[in-house]
């Protein structure tokens, strides 16, 4: 049976039906037109703890040792997806802090399940700060050997009040182009993750000895 490739989309907004949801839904619709499956998961609006640098996940890899929020339920979906797209509203020129906590803990504790898979981020803002938030979201992907998929513009959609993102015609076009680029890359590679660090042993270098 032919494998139908799947993209996991994470809605990092505390509002389940806000402007971030509109942007990700446009991506998901276009992925469907390209013959790919997608799943949008919402981080919710309940408390998410930050990483405490306890290192316990290295003793029990695959999940964060703290299992009292959405982190592990989201990272458990990494293995079954072929690519990842993360969307966030912009707060003070930065992504939502709860989303950053999920990404940091999920990647650190279960990074082997997502490493090398194509990824993209989407920033949604009222006016400014989107490029800074966009760059912050992309940084973890680059550390995980994940090819970062772009579009015809930075992956940004504008809107303040709920539903206004639907009026950003260029932003939604950017989302559709992103989806088509993601579909093209997955089809071209057959969903095979980038080799990255597996090609040679990692040689970490600390500058303070």
pTM of the model: 0.96
Per-residue pLDDT reduced to its tens digit, 48-59:
999 999 999 999
The answer, yes or no, to whether residue 46 has pLDDT greater than 80, is yes
pLDDT of residue 1: 62
Query: How crowded is the C-beta side of 19, counted as CA atoms within 13 Å?
Result: 23
Per-residue pLDDT reduced to its tens digit, 58-98:
998 999 999 999 999 999 999 999 999 999 999 999 999 99
Looking at every residue in the chain, the average pLDDT score rounds to 95
pLDDT of residue 200: 83
CATH of 6-199 among 3.40.50.360, 3.30.70.260, 3.30.70.20, 3.60.70.12: 3.40.50.360
Q: For residue 86, what are the β-bridge partners? A: 10, 121
> What are the phi and psi torsion angles at 194 (to 5°)?
-60, 140
């Amino acid at each position: 049976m032919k494998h139908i490739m799947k993209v996991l989309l994470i809605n990092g907004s505390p509002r389940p039906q806000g402007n971030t949801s509109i942007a990700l839904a446009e991506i998901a619709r276009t992925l469907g037109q390209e013959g790919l499956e997608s799943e949008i998961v919402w981080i919710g609006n309940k408390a998410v703890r930050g990483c405490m640098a306890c290192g316990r996940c290295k003793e029990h890899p695959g999940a964060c040792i703290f299992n009292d929020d959405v982190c592990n339920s989201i990272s458990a979906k990494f293995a079954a997806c072929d690519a990842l797209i993360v969307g966030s509203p912009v707060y003070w020129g930065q992504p939502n802090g709860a989303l950053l906590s999920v990404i940091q803990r999920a990647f650190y504790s279960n990074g082997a399940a997502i490493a090398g898979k194509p990824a993209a981020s989407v920033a949604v803002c009222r006016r400014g700060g989107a490029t800074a938030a966009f760059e912050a979201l992309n940084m973890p992907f680059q550390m995980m050997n994940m090819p970062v998929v772009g579009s015809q513009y930075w992956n940004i959609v504008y809107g303040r009040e709920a539903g206004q993102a639907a009026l950003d015609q260029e932003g939604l076009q950017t989302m559709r182009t992103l989806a088509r680029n993601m579909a093209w890359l997955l089809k071209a590679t057959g969903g095979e993750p980038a080799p990255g660090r597996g090609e040679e042993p990692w040689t970490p270098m600390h500058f303070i000895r």
